[in-house]
Amino acid sequence: MQDENYSRKGDGAAASAVKSEDIFPMDFIGNMFRNWKILCLAALLGGVCAIGAYFYATPKWQARLLVQVGKVSASAERDSTLIEGVSQTAYRIRSKEFVDAVIKSTGYADVDAGEGEPPEVRLFRSSLRPNDIAGTDFLKVEFLGYSREQLKKYADALTQQLYAAHNRVPEVLKAELKSAQEKNQNELAAAELTYDRLTKEFGKVQQQPQDAQLLSASVLTAQVQNSAALIESLRKVQRDLDRRVFPTNLYPTVISQLEIDDRPASPKLKLFLLVGLAVGFFCGFVFSIFRKTTRLDRLR
Confidence at 178, pLDDT banded by 50, 70, 90: confident
pLDDT digits (tens, 9 = 90+) for 31-86: 666 677 777 887 788 777 877 766 666 788 899 999 999 888 765 555 567 888 88
Burial status of residue 174 (CB atoms within 10 A of its CB: 0-12, 13-18, 19 or more): middle
Answer whether 0.85 is exceeded by the pTM. no
Cβ atoms of residues 152 and 118 within 8 Å: no
Measured at the alpha carbon of residue 127, what is the angle toward residues 124 and 131, in degrees to the nearest 5? 120
**Residue 16: per-residue pLDDT:** 45
Cβ atoms of residues 140 and 131 within 8 Å: yes
**Residue 239: per-residue pLDDT:** 83
**Residue 75: per-residue pLDDT:** 59
Nearest to 72 by CA among 81, 59, 85: 81
- For residue 138, which amino acid is it? F
Cβ atoms of residues 46 and 281 within 8 Å: yes
**Residue 1: per-residue pLDDT:** 43
Secondary structure tally for the chain: helices H, strands E: 9, 7
- Phi, psi at residue 80, to the nearest 5°? -65, 145
Between 128 and 14, name the one with better pLDDT.
128
Residues 244 and 182: their CA atoms lie apart, in Å, by 14
267 preceded by cis ω (within 30°)? yes
In the three-class reduction of DSSP (H, G, I as helix; E, B as strand; rest coil), residue 238 is classed as helix
Weakest-pLDDT range from 177-186, 202-211, 229-238, 272-281: 202-211
**Residue 172: per-residue pLDDT:** 75
Measured at the alpha carbon of residue 17, what is the angle toward residues 31 and 11, in degrees to the nearest 5? 155
Confidence at 95, pLDDT banded by 50, 70, 90: very high
Confidence at 124, pLDDT banded by 50, 70, 90: very high
Report the DSSP beta bridge partners of residue 131.
140
The alpha carbon of 279 is separated from its chain's Cα centroid by a whole number of angstroms, namely 36
Q: Is the pLDDT of residue 279 over 80?
A: yes
Weakest-pLDDT range from 9-18, 108-117, 167-176, 252-261: 9-18
- Phi, psi at residue 82, to the nearest 5°? -70, 150
Mean pLDDT score of the chain: 77
Q: Is the pLDDT of residue 158 over 90?
A: yes
Residues 151 and 147: their CA atoms lie apart, in Å, by 6
Contacts of 101 (CB under 8 A, 6+ apart): 161
User: In the predicted model, what is the mean pLDDT of residues 219-247?
Assistant: 83
Weakest-pLDDT range from 76-90, 95-109, 121-135, 220-234: 76-90
